[in-house]
Structure 1
Amino acid sequence: MGGLICVGVISGAHGLRGEVRLKSFTADPSAIGAYGALLDETEKRSFKVRIAGRGKDHLIARLEGVDDRNAAETLKGVKLYIRRTALPDPGEDEYYHADLIGLAAESVDGKKLGMVKAVHDFGAGAILEIEALMIPFTRLTAPKVDMKGGRIVINPPPDLPDANEEEKR
């Protein structure tokens, strides 16, 4: 649970005076400026952020020391981070998405399902992305490839999760 947490990304320049378009990943997007100086992934550069406005799907921000469009354009794609230790401990039954990534996922009966690869939130609640299932592509594990039918018949290894159990719910 240590390290850096990505809280936003600079998506491009805005205007001529060094403002940037900023995509915030914080629960309250405009709160990204309240975390103090944000770091790049190398931790060699830090940026003090002041929110100057809102676009349709982004914030417009001023970064201390970025005073013209050329300087702002060089920052396109820079991810902005805070130290995990700067965040308060989550409440009971609350979790930071970054803390869930990398956890082992198991079924209620103990079958290994994989590792949490990502947590997505499209507005209707968080969705866990469990790492993709990977099976060796051999005659034993994939005995039939049915191109016309659009399927591959899999002879699963014994520890493969049973997707049908989830469908019964």
Structure 2
Amino acid sequence: MSRNEILEPSRPDRLGGARGCEAALPHADYRIMPLPDDFTAAVGPYYARVDAGRPLIGLPLRDIHVSVRGYCHGAVITGLADLQSLAASYTVGMHDRFAATVSLTVDFIAPAGHGDFLELRTDLLRSSRQFLFTQALVAKADGALVARTSAVYKWDPAPHETPDIVRRLFEPPA
């Protein structure tokens, strides 16, 4: 499946739902995050918005995200949870670098399924010269909790070649 097929809203998937995500977005200000790697492109698209200064990341669950039983794969939720480093980087104003995962814990609370929109809400616990400490909740659009997470990240030592790469993931182009 090509990336264009993933974003094509008019083609139904095997469960009869739309492959695309526009109709499933719970807030009109969500926009596709232009993530620069193949893994997130294959799993996503992920969506981002900033609400009252707080960066939020969302993922509409489609056919590729769920098992034959109709439940979202834990790996999909874990992949979304790992993006909390980006939200924390945005929060502290570290827009020029990414951070590598040192530790990530995910506690699964309730299932999610095809058609649900998952939203990651990150809290920054601490930022130092080398590390980010975070926690986050993954919830459905109606607020029902799906997972809670905690993570430690280590800042990349060198800035990204694009000076404001993290800001660009959350804010629309000027």
TM-score of the pair, normalised by structure 2 = 0.26
* Bigger radius of gyration among the two: 1
